[in-house]
Amino acid sequence: MTRPIPENDTDLFTCERVEDVEVLTFHKHLLYHLTDLAAKTRILDYLDSVSKDPSIRVFLLMAAPKRLDKEAYIAFYRQYLDTATVAGQTQLKRLYNGLNQFILKLHGINPFVVHAGSGDTAFLFMNISLACDYRIASEETLFENPTMELGLPPKGGGVFFLSHLLGPAKCAEILYSGRDIDMEEAMRLNLVQRVVKREALRTSALETAHAFAHKSPLALFGTKKLLGYAMKDLGEFLEYENKILETTLRRHHLSNT
């Protein structure tokens, strides 16, 4: 059945209940909408409603079918790198704050969260998947690392999540190298837990979500809370990340004047 959402932005996302699994499907890139206060409020309010609903055991997040790849990510940021206007910087701050709010809300949500996505994906959206509890990707997916080419540090909690998952040394090696990560390496590093064919992505994601939904909810949620406690500094890290990015952009603009 369809889950009612006040002012549901069906152009950006839709949601439905499949038995005891709540499914959110994005249709467009979230990044383009986080500076839109109305759209941001709708998605954050929806996540709040999911978190408060005790009948939802598992929350399945399906990424947009065409994700933000390296070229699109770089093009998106170029508009901010090439302008030092007050309006442009205000929009960028809104974007960073909106992204922080979304990641914190997703990471702290009560149900167990399964993320599923496919296609070439900028690290920013890999980072969003790392805020979830379990990750599925299609076999041709490539996590693309644009930060060194763009000349900006990564945004989205990537350093935080990767350093917790892989340790500081491996995290640094990946980020400093600027290299991409295919699904064979992603599986080896535990950045994803399951890789499937693109055409089977939704079916496999629902299958996985239902499998988790049938586990003991007390054990599942209790374990999730304990793991979340180990990463309780995420909010502070995201704020510091904003400051580093804003300083980098200021220096970029000064060096080009």
For the chain, domain boundaries: 13-255
The closest of 70, 160, 162, 67 to 116, measured between CA atoms, is 67
CA 76 remoteness from chain centre: 17
What is the pLDDT, as a whole number, of residue 10? 61
CB 179 within 8 A of CB 153: no
Per-residue pLDDT tens, the chain, 257 aa: give them. Answer: 344 444 445 678 999 999 889 999 998 878 778 878 888 889 999 999 999 999 999 999 999 887 778 888 888 877 776 666 666 677 788 888 999 999 999 999 999 999 999 999 988 889 999 999 999 999 999 999 988 888 888 888 999 999 999 999 999 999 999 899 999 999 999 999 999 999 999 999 999 999 999 998 888 888 988 888 778 889 999 999 999 988 887 777 666 65
Torsion of CA 10, 16, 21, 22, to 10 degrees: 30
CA distances from 47 to 77, 107, 165, 210, 247 (A): 27, 11, 25, 19, 31
Q: Which two tokens stand for residue 89?
A: 């910087």
Find out whether 198 and 140 touch, Cβ atoms under 8 Å: yes
Closest CA to 127 of 90, 158, 165: 158
| Contacts of residue 108, Cβ cutoff 8 Å, sequence gap at least 6 | 51, 228
* Residue 5, pLDDT score: 43
Q: Which two tokens stand for residue 154?
A: 């990564």
Q: Are strands 58-62 and 112-117 parallel, antiparallel or unpaired?
A: parallel
Phi, psi of 230 (to 5 degrees): -65, -15
pLDDT computed for residue 88 by the predictor: 67
pLDDT at 7: 43
Per residue in 197-226, pLDDT (tens digit) is 999 999 999 999 999 999 988 888 889 888
| The residue to which tokens 């980072």 are assigned | 127
C-alpha–C-alpha distance, residues 112 and 216, integer Å: 12
In the numeric block, which tokens belong to residue 60?
Answer: 């399945």
CB-CB contact of 20 with 57 (8 Å): yes
Which architecture does CATH list for 13-255? Alpha-Beta Complex (3.90)
CB 89 within 8 A of CB 53: no
Q: Give the orientation angle of helix 70-81 with respect to helix 86-108, to 10 degrees.
A: 140
